[in-house]
Amino acid sequence: MASSSAKSIQTNDDILPSLLSTDNISTQSTSRSRSNEDLFQNYQYSCLSLSWTIGINSNVPLLNLSVTGKTRYFYAVGNVGIIGTGSGKAQTLLQGHISNIISAAVSHDKQWLVTAESVPETFLIVWNTFTSKPVKYLTNIHETGLIRVYISRDGKLISILTEIPDQKIILWRWSNNDVSPIVLPVIPIVCERQSWFIMIEDRSFFCSIGTDSVIFYSMLK
């Protein structure tokens, strides 16, 4: 059996993450875009209206949305997000994605939910679970798609692990309209594809996991 080892990986440490290009990434608040309103409201004017779903996207985990003793949970069915209740007799449908939802995460207070699709267009939506309404979205995240999204404990920072090649980690302070997403340096090609990603609670460290490596990232200079 091969032995494991720990080592430092040489990266572009002289480049500050805030200086890396984010020109192709688009952010938008739903309250300020007529075209985006059309995107989320076009279901109202369709000749067919979705009222109930059966099934689950097995690669997207069930998320606990329960607050103040009220049982609620989130799961994905195809390109639709579902907020269910403890009785199982009600579904709130979160519609806005075109392709299948491949990843989702929720803040500690259960208010902010982020859902993501990967191909043919990378698209991420932030939802207010208390109102079941979308509040902001992110597009053109990466040319080849994304793998996983994560949201910080306070719900203010969203992190995104993109697909290969040129695999990256993108940080988005979505609640601040004046801040563009931050792209961290490209994950070294000497490492296999990173398939899992997590953020340490104080947001100063991040960790990605691949078949042959575990990489730790620090925001501290």
Question: b/e string for 63-81 if b means 16 or more Cβ within 10 A?
Answer: bebeeeeeebbbbbbebbb
Question: What does DSSP assign to residue 46?
Answer: S
Rounded to an integer, what distance in angstroms lies between the CA atom of residue 216 and that of residue 205? 7
Distances (CA, A) of 62 to 75, 77, 83, 87, 213: 5, 11, 10, 16, 27
The answer to whether residue 37 scores a pLDDT higher than 80 is no
- Digit-coded pLDDT (tens) for 106-141: 999 999 999 999 877 788 999 999 999 999 988 878
Tell me: the pLDDT tens digits for 145-198?
888 899 988 888 898 888 887 788 888 888 887 567 888 777 777 778 887 777
Mean pLDDT of 41-60: 77
- Which residues are CB-neighbours of 70 under 8 A, at least 6 positions away? 86
Rounded CA-CA distance 51/69 in Å is 26
pTM of the model: 0.76
pLDDT category of residue 6 using cuts at 50, 70 and 90: very low
The mean pLDDT of 86-90, rounded to a whole number, is: 83
Closest to 193 (Cα-Cα) out of 152, 145, 137: 145
pLDDT number for residue 169: 84
Q: Which residues contact 161 (CB under 8 A, 6 or more apart)?
A: 146, 147, 148, 149, 150, 167, 169, 194, 196, 197, 208
The residue behind tokens 């500690």 is 108
Residue 94 pLDDT > 90? yes
% of the chain surpassing 70 pLDDT? 74
Residue given tokens 């949305």 in the structure block = 65
